[in-house]
Amino acid sequence: MFDYLIFMLALAVCGIFAGYANSKVNNAYAKYGQIRNYRGVTGADAASRLLWANGVTDIRIGHISGTLTDHYHPAQSIVNLSDSTYGSASVAAVAVAAHEIGHVMQNKKGFIFYHLRTALVPVVNIGTKLAMPLVLIGLLLDFFVAATANSDLGYYLAMFGVLLYGASFIFTVVTLPVELDASRRAKKMLVAEGILQDEEMDGAEEVLSAAALTYLASMFTSLVYFLRFMFYVMRMFGNRRDD
């Protein structure tokens, strides 16, 4: 019961932090989404200009519905900009568009964390599906095999399931430097191309910095769930062997 209370407390702290991060993003975007940039450059225009300035000619700019649903899809060679970004000439829209071009440049320049995150996607997808079945199979093996032989096969199988589950946490850890670097590249490109003026860059930085907090909150939350899962599995095996 005490362990469960600790878990719930940690989860509550993460929830408060996540709420704070989301509030920062919403407030920053609401504020700078209403401020038109001096040059009247839309998010789509900014994205196109930054691609051209960096010699990238094989990436299209797409338009998708929603707010802050912007993303770069490397397999389809397209940067999809949301309704709130594509045709908007606000400071926030340009900052978000530039951030997505930052991901394009990470891919083009071979940024190690970007490619590591991409490689982790199938591992995470498989891990979330196989983690619990592997733990259950491990428990069954530990019960039946250990009764007749001194074998740790079940334990090792369950721990492998735990590691697969932990891939989700590793994914969030790797995501943080990817997003921070994309924002760094975005700010650098916006200054280099003169899309935003110096006083407008403060607003762009506020929007991008607020977004980074959401990824930090996600990482902490994922860590709490991973530790809870790992300790729970270890305790199950400990209780099994004590019996």
Tokens of 207: 């929007």
- For the stretch 122-165, pLDDT in tens is 989 888 888 888 888 887 877 776 555 556 777 888 888 889 88
Which alpha helices (H) appear in 112-152, and where do they start and end? 112-146
236 CB burial (10 A radius; 0-12, 13-18, 19+): middle
Distance CA 187, CA 184 (A): 5
Active-site hit among 100, 179, 200, 206: 100
Q: Hey, what amino acid is at 90? A: S
Domain count, the chain: 1
pLDDT per residue, tens digit, the chain (243 aa), is 667 788 889 989 999 999 999 999 999 999 999 999 999 999 999 999 999 999 999 999 999 999 999 999 999 999 999 999 999 999 999 999 999 999 999 999 999 999 999 999 998 988 888 888 888 888 787 777 655 555 677 788 888 888 988 999 999 999 999 999 999 999 999 999 999 999 999 999 999 999 999 999 999 999 999 998 888 888 877 765 555
Supply the pLDDT for residue 145: 66
200 included as an active-site residue: no
Q: State which residues form the domain around 157.
A: 2-242
User: Strand order in 60-63's β-sheet?
Assistant: 60-63, 78-81, 71-73
